[in-house]
Structure 1
Amino acid sequence: MWEWLRALPPGPASFVGTLTGSSIGLIAILVGALWNFNLSRKRDALERAQEIRSIAAALYGEMLLIRKEAASVARAVAYAYVEIGTKRYPGVRFDHHFLERFRLTEPLLYKSLASRLGELPSDIVISIAEFYSNYEEVKKWLPLIMDDDKRGFSYSPTAVLVPAVDTVIGINPTLRLIENLLHIRTPVADPDLGKTNSVIEMIEDQDADD
């Protein structure tokens, strides 16, 4: 090629040389632009992955706290139901004293991060939404199972116990996914539910016999 260029008259040779140099320069610019684009994409992907881990870590911590509270409520309700039924401790009642023992956490992180949940994988988002929905059921029904002579009827403790179990146990597969995402080697243990499942079965059997 260079022999061919040298054989050209000065005018055409200068033009071809300029064109060749421009082409090489353009290719260099394109290669540089593509390189920078790839670096930018990798940087954006790393930043997005870090943001996802940050959101997951925040919700993970809050969910662990809520699981403990839901399990504590379930244990207490199940215990009280058994004691009321056996009448071993007449002072045990579903009353305002019982209710005052619990100050259930408001899910502030979940509410503040609601607009960013879409950044998480869809299966995790659905499971987290179900978790907080179950927890809201526990919060809603706990005051309603308290004795109320004016009401004339009572609600079953299962209105609290069932969503409490779902809160504690139902989120487990998602907790494993988040632990893997956060490189947590030891899975968190389940909070103690006490006699909760036995009491649920007992009440359901009684309802079936009625």
Structure 2
Amino acid sequence: MTQMMFRPETDTRPQVVSTITIPEQADAAHHVDVTVSEPEQPADHAGEHLLLVASSGGHLAQLLALRSWWQEFPRTWVTFDTEDARSQLAGEDIVFAKHPTTRNVKNLLRNSVIAAKLMRDVRPTMIVSTGAAVAFPFFLYAKGMHVPTVYLEVFDRVDSRTLTGRLCRPLASEFLVQWEQQRALYKGSRVIGTLL
């Protein structure tokens, strides 16, 4: 098991430390068990707020697979305004990003404005994303604001790097992959096994 400690460096709020425990290898069934512990924080996770960022569809499905980890935390979702996203996130705090995002400069700029506003208003203590391009402006702002980020590369791209993976790798506090073959594509990444 690997434990990662995230400590926001330039935050005026009370210091919050998040510990994420990630297995070094997936078990035989390729199941990943990600747990979070807060040894010095009350059970209500006071002062913490997750920003969960993912395109709708498969990217969102992979982030939803981590429910046992994020369900205990106050959170805001960023995804696209689609029927499946509305259905899967019913009752959640959702901010809809602009799409399409793949190689779309106009929507990149629009999503950068959304990211700046959310970073200011929500003040997340951690950003977690499974991509795709919607993640990039959030990771960029998070890097500048010293907010820890976790990027989980998609499971269906094994033999080459994704554009978003290439952009977010230098910005991510932790970069996770789901296959051993992906680890060779992203220096310093960790294999956690498949989520779906």
Identify whether the pair has TM-score above 0.5, normalized to the shorter chain. no
TM-score class, shorter-chain normalisation, is under 0.3
Larger proportion of strand: 2
Instruction: Give the TM-score normalised by the residue count of structure 1.
Output: 0.21
Larger radius of gyration: 1
TM-score with structure 2 setting the length: 0.22
Q: Which has the higher contact order (CA 8 A, sep 6+)?
A: 1
